[in-house]
Amino acid sequence: MGREQWKKIWVGSAGNMVEWFDWFVYATFAVYFADAFFPKGNDTANLMNTMGIFAVGFFMRPVGGWLLGRIGDRRGRKAALTLTVTLMSASAILIAVAPTYGVAGYGGVAVLLVARLLQGLSVGGEYAASATYLTEASDPRRRGFASSFQYVSMTAGQLVGLGLLIVMQHTMSEDALHSWGWRIPFIVGALGAAIVFYLRRNMLETEVYEESGAALDEDRGTLKALWGHRREAFLVIALTMGGTVAYYTYTTYLTKFLSKSAGMPKPTASLVSFCALFVFMCLQPLAGMLSDRIGRRPLLITFAVGSTFLTVPIMTMLKHAGTFWPAFGLALLALVVVTGYTSINACVKAELFPTGIRALGVALPYAIANALFGGTAEYVALWFKKADMESGFYWYVAGCAAVSLVVYLTMRETRDIDLKKTAPGGPPWTQSSGEFEERGSGRSPDGARTGQVPAS
């Protein structure tokens, strides 16, 4: 890839990192501020209430997916990416200054809820905008590698949050963390978002978008246009289901699981998550490169098979791990399995849609899947725990992966789709210009291999 392509990937990834830092520090620091916004008493109930608000943010993501996806398709990827980071900065400031229950009663909960709604709006558009941007900005032969930096940056954001937590745990008292220390990461997030706003204001638009003529299409970025690609939209929901549940289980929920269920000290649990996530982050580009060689489906299928059959034993053993090294090994094994999904899901979804509907096509169905499954994963886990049926959650995660496995086994390959030649009026593998000899044939008129694409 050329220097300009690397620059686009860097700017897109840096902004994505800050966005997801702000998103994840809520879950990371929830164990410290849960009691600040609710009456003291049942710690598990307070954490459930706090994570319930976390889940509410996910239900705002479809709105953000529609609004910012529309902006991304009609005004360009740059415009959408700039707006998402502005919204995220505002939400971080609100959480940083939110009054506690002792000061304003449930008024603090109201501020927290508004902030999470803004975060949901922002992240609902961020995923699709960055996925589309990174996929379009890359060399067609290295789209898997380039788009893998979305989860590199997402994980880097979470690692910065976890690293900050570990430092604070070793430099501040438990009382200070519960009293006021939890506000620090949200201040850091707001400052980081301000810096990224400047970077995104000066970023370059993708050539695919500029050359596609999408800006001349009146239906670009509309629900009407997306309805014409409803099969692809439902495919995005189905292939996201298992991946998002597994991802949130082994990332945001893992620290709480190790401390609340496995009985680990909070600093040890945080260190396990940090180390496992660091290795996980480094694996993303390697898996992305592998998908550029062998295709996307083999990685997706490997993830789904592993998650379906290994989730229950991994979670069961994690609960009894006891010390750092067994917990780290099990957490890393789980995240290696999840890599089959995270490393390539961005480009797979972007490859399903033509340019004029790509941002919305990725954003809205992905946000719906996350609202239904990813955002509720921690709440479902805590519900099972409160009901004294914690192992039921393990089976729930495995079941979601099994559903996605069926989708991966029946879909076709997306690796070789030409993003510049997808027809604006139909699915990317049904060309009006004679690009393919027949639907799904994987052959151009001259007989050259173009690669198969998902079946509708």
Q: Which residues contact 256 (CB under 8 A, 6 or more apart)?
A: 30, 31, 47, 269, 378
Q: Is residue 424 part of a domain?
A: no
377-432 per-position pLDDT tens digit: 988 998 999 899 999 999 999 999 999 999 999 998 999 888 875 544 444 433 33
Which residue ranges in the chain fall short of pLDDT 70? 1-2, 41-44, 213-217, 421-456
State how far the Cα of 133 lies from the Cα of 8, in Å rounded to an integer: 8
Domain holding 248, by residue range, is 3-410
Q: Is residue 426 part of a domain?
A: no
437: tokens are 């000899």
Q: Is residue 253 part of a domain?
A: yes
pLDDT of residue 276: 96
Question: Is 120 in contact with 55 (CB distance < 8 Å)?
Answer: no
165: tokens are 């937590």
Q: Report the number of distinct structural domains present in the chain.
A: 1
Tokens 């789709």, residue located: 417
Q: Is residue 425 part of a domain?
A: no
DSSP state of 373: I
State how far the Cα of 70 lies from the Cα of 220, in Å rounded to an integer: 8
User: Facing residues of 387 across strands?
Assistant: none
CATH of the domain at 202: 1.20.1250.20
337: tokens are 């399995």
Q: Is residue 306 part of a domain?
A: yes
Q: Is residue 367 part of a domain?
A: yes
Q: Is residue 57 part of a domain?
A: yes
Q: Is residue 444 part of a domain?
A: no
State how far the Cα of 259 lies from the Cα of 252, in Å rounded to an integer: 13
CA 117-162-21 angle, 5° bins:
35
Tokens 């014409």, residue located: 228
